[in-house]
Amino acid sequence: MTTRLIKNIGELTTNDPTLGAGTAGRLHDAAMVIDEDRVLWVGPNAQAPAADESIDAQDCAVIPGFVDSHTHLVFAGERSDEFEARMSGTPYDGGGIARTVASTRVASSDELRRSTAQRLRELRAGGVTTVEIKSGYALNVDGESRLIDIASEFSDEVTFLGAHVVPEEYVKDREGYVSLVRGSMLQACAPHSKWADVFCDHGAFDVDESRAILTSARAAGLQLRVHGNQLGRTGGVALAVEMDAASVDHCTFLSDDDVDQLSASNTVATLLPGADFSTRADYSSARRLRDRGAVVALATDCNPGTSYVTSMAFVLAIAVRDMRMDFDDALWSATRGGATALRRGDVGHLGPGARADVVILDAPRAAHLAYRPGAPLVRQVILAR
């Protein structure tokens, strides 16, 4: 096992309050020692133990790798024309999903692998070290199972989203599609999936359909997540809490009752600033959630329709500027918050024993990620084996 010392860290965010100040567990003039898998030691630079190799952080900031807990990375085609139309006033209604389904169904597996790998490279270059990937752009048994297989080549956090929308061939038979998702599609996809997700919203699935799908998914051994309250107060949040889903994502429209329910639950509210940006929606109120004690995660939602975003720094900048999060809260939400949304204790922090997923920035403070939007501030990404 080769050990590596990262020395001369100007500002170290550990997200471990036992190691440093605040929930960020912040240290200055710090150092850390890692091996190929794990963090071994964190402390003052002056007390750093010897290691086989060393990396000089040159007084720059170091943070845990970002945990992007919500992406739709496997798809073909793009929909920039819809983005342009939205910027001139056309609302988003989920209708464009069918276009991506059409292009994804006819794409070769190699083409899907190539474009997924490229998007993952972009995420990594921006400091993402853990990524969740959903299916949802095939919406038939063989197609969904192909997307799940491709996703699992890139991540262990794979989510079955057969319940994205009802595909064109089933519009006159919604019940038939819900049965397909709960039956043979789930059976084909469950072996390589960890999670199941449902788009519970206007134009997608209602609460009863969503509950039925999630119930079958749980019986098949999957853990649950929900796309909810993106387009209205549609009951997705309450359903996610009722089902003890790990996370309910979007939360653009929240009632006081939704916020109270989230605060009293184990369900993380995952906010997707890129989607609100790209659909010209009002930004979800992160501060209201935080003030009432709900756990908040931030993710890219990388997808061709509502958020073709691979930059967590961009997500942080919006969260801070427009969702009014304090920078440290936003950074926590994009790291440890994402880990919580994936029910993972080994990532999103840099305490001893955590996975050695470490990002060295080209900036003296992590806050530069939001302060200098658009600048390439990630100098080095260290990924645990």
Q: Does 275 bind ligand NIG (CB under 6 A)?
A: yes
Residue 195 binding target from Fe ion, ligand NIG, none, CB below 5 to 8 Å by type? none
What is the DSSP code string of 226-293?
EEESSSS--SHHHHHHHTT-SEEEE--S--HHHHHHHHTSS-EEEE-HHHHHHTTPPPP-HHHHHHTT
Minimum gap (Å) between residue 82 Cβ and Fe ion: 15
Look at strands 26-34 and 4-13 and give their pairing. antiparallel
Q: Does 132 bind ligand NIG (CB under 6 A)?
A: no
29: left (phi over 0), alpha (psi -120 to 50) or beta: left
Residues 96-115 that bind ligand NIG (CB under 6 A): 96-97, 100
- Of 305, 337, 338, 348, the one binding ligand NIG (CB under 6 A) is 305
Tell me whether residue 199 or residue 277 sits nearer to ligand NIG (CB atom).
199
Residue 267 binding target from ligand NIG, Fe ion, none, CB below 5 to 8 Å by type? none
d(Cα 151, Cα 143) in Å, to the nearest integer?
12
Q: Does 241 bind ligand NIG (CB under 6 A)?
A: no
Tell me whether residue 4 or residue 134 sits nearer to ligand NIG (CB atom).
134
Q: Which two tokens stand for residue 187?
A: 């059976």
For residue 284, report the phi and psi dihedrals to the nearest 5 degrees.
-60, 150
Q: Which residues contact Fe ion by CB under 5 A?
A: 301
Tell me whether residue 135 or residue 193 sits nearer to ligand NIG (CB atom).
135
Residue 197 binding target from ligand NIG, Fe ion, none, CB below 5 to 8 Å by type? none
HEC readout, 308-369 = CCCCHHHHHHHHHHCCCCCHHHHHHHHCHHHHHHCCCCCCCCCCCCCECCEEEECCCCCCHH
Q: Does 167 bind ligand NIG (CB under 6 A)?
A: no
Tell me whether residue 60 or residue 198 sits nearer to Fe ion (CB atom).
198
CB-based contacts of 172, cutoff 8 Å, min separation 6: none
In the three-class reduction of DSSP (H, G, I as helix; E, B as strand; rest coil), residue 381 is classed as strand
Tell me whether residue 73 or residue 289 sits nearer to Fe ion (CB atom).
73
The pattern of x and - marking residues 190 through 209 that bind ligand NIG according to CB under 6 A reads: ---------x----------
First-to-last alpha carbon distance for the chain, in angstroms, is 12
- Of 167, 235, 304, 337, the one binding ligand NIG (CB under 6 A) is 304
Residues lying near ligand NIG in the complex (CB under 6 A) are found at 94, 96-97, 100, 199, 227, 230, 275, 301, 303-306
